Amino acid sequence: GADLANLVNEAALMAARVGRRFVTMVDFENAKDKVMMGAERRSMVMTEEEKKLTAYHEAGHAIVGLNVPQHDPIHKATIIPRGRALGLVLSLPERDQLSVTFRKYKSKIAMAMGGRAAEELIFGKDDITSGAASDIQQASKIARAMVTQFGFADELGMVDYSYEQQSYLGTFQSGQAHSEEMQKRIDEKVKELVDEGYETARNVLTKRMGELERLAEGLLEYETLTGSEITNVIEGKPLKRADDDEDDSTDASGTASVTAIPKTRPRKRSGDGDEPELEPEPTA
């Protein structure tokens, strides 16, 4: 209830900022993105090289996520800085999940490593960046939980090595109760799972290099793409956006363009004989 109230309030604020007196689905979509991904930081200055690197990094996440088994659908990809991230790819489950399979956790690790794998394949190992720090943390956290909590490591058995305790203050560690040798085996297994995910990401991107290139170009053109738009860009189809001119979807040869640059259309005035605007006029 509180989350929904926060979402509605945020949508109302966004509508008010652009001078609307009612809330549309666009406002709700933007509010949801802000709540889930953080506020946009359009004032942040990025060089063309940084934008290009971010586009390939996020495209790597998306391509891997679309091509590993049991992964949640890709909801949106953006290279607009949000929160502390220069860009991100958001995947959302189609329904509530009460349990997660071993295969899906491995797919999550592979997608998390897709950004670093794309950087290495496109720019070379000497030019990879620290932008994958949060991805590495996420992959390591998933892999460690698989080993220490979920019993997914056969050689370690179905034993809880996390030693987490619950209290009214939340979850806390009660101290390590296993040997240094066991800790070393745990760390080795965690590294093995993360390395395996990285190799999976590299293999997917190597086989689908053309899709990676097209999606990165699409992100550089549009900055933000929805799940369906990502699919269209990968397949080489033009995007059909309301603010795109029809002529922009084809090039000089008549071939459909992968990404048409959006144009801003002037707002229609009610006195021009066209359809009146949806926004209601005030009455005396």
Residues designated catalytic: 58
Chain centroid to CA 34: 13
Cα separation, 77 vs 221, in Å, equals 13
Residues 6+ apart with CB under 8 A from 23: 8, 11, 12, 15
Q: Strand, helix or coil at 253?
A: coil
b (16+ CB within 10 A) / e for 18-33? eeeeebeeebbebbbb
Q: Strand, helix or coil at 40?
A: strand
Cα separation, 281 vs 284, in Å, equals 10
Cα separation, 251 vs 254, in Å, equals 5
Q: Work out the number of other CB atoms within 10 angstroms of the CB of residue 246.
A: 9
Stated as kind and residue range, the H or E segment containing 88 is strand 88-91
Chain centroid to CA 9: 24
Q: Strand, helix or coil at 244?
A: coil
